[in-house]
Amino acid sequence: MYGTFWSPRNADVFASVSADHFLKIWDAKAPRSVQTIKAHDFDILAMDWNKYQEGMIVTGSVDRSMKVWDLRFPGRELKVLHGHSQAVRKLKCSPHLGNIVASTSYDLTTRVWDIDRMEPAIFKYSHPEFVTGVDFNLYIEGQIASCSWDSVTHIFRVPQIFK
């Protein structure tokens, strides 16, 4: 398993992603997953809940794609985001805007996406090594931190998104 993530809306619900290609939704009161979605054809390394749209999850995979899911309609992803040239390692939905997602990849980049648009990432930041982590600053809109294998954390702003 690559990660577990608590729901921002329900204290008993969390999601998990793993090498078996499945996104699973769990209820802490139940003995097994309550929903299972074959989300990618390769390992799923990353996911996050959208804090603004109930039941919306974004997953990232070794297949280099990110997929947006609505748990009410698990048979098919809402959107597929392409742009990374290697595995998507981490992703994070913005705490400020419901349509913004940041991702990192082994392609040495951090990218910021507008999931309402079907176009490549709207912002790209390059690192000298594999990028393994990303997060939005809760207090300063548009400020993002990402880190890579070179043991350096980069802090940058994406002003065109947050006006």
| Cα–Cα distance list, 27 to 13, 97, 114 (Å) | 5, 27, 30
What secondary structure does DSSP assign to 145-161, as a single string? EEEETTS-EEEEE-TTT
> What is the pLDDT at residue 159?
72
pLDDT tens for each residue of the chain, 163 residues long? 899 999 999 999 999 999 999 999 999 999 999 999 999 999 999 999 999 999 999 999 999 999 999 999 999 999 999 999 999 999 999 999 999 999 999 999 999 999 998 778 889 999 999 999 999 999 999 999 999 999 999 999 987 666 5
pLDDT for residue 120: 84
Query: pLDDT at position 135, please?
Result: 98
Handedness of CA 76, 135, 160, 54 (dihedral sign): positive
Looking at residue 119, its pLDDT comes to 77
Given its phi and psi angles, is residue 32 left (phi above 0), alpha (psi -120 to 50 degrees) or beta?
Answer: beta
CA torsion, ordered 7, 8, 12, 13, to nearest 10 deg: -20
pLDDT of residue 155: 96
Residue entry with tokens 């980069």: 154
Which tokens is 119 given?
């176009």
Do residues 45 and 61 make contact, with C-beta atoms less than 8 angstroms apart? Answer: yes
pLDDT in the model for residue 162: 62
DSSP 15-38: EEE-TTSEEEEEETTSSS-SEEEE
Walk me through the domains of the chain, giving residue ranges and CATH numbers: 3-157 (2.130.10.10)
Residues in the chain: 163
Q: Please tell me the predicted confidence (pLDDT) of residue 111.
A: 96
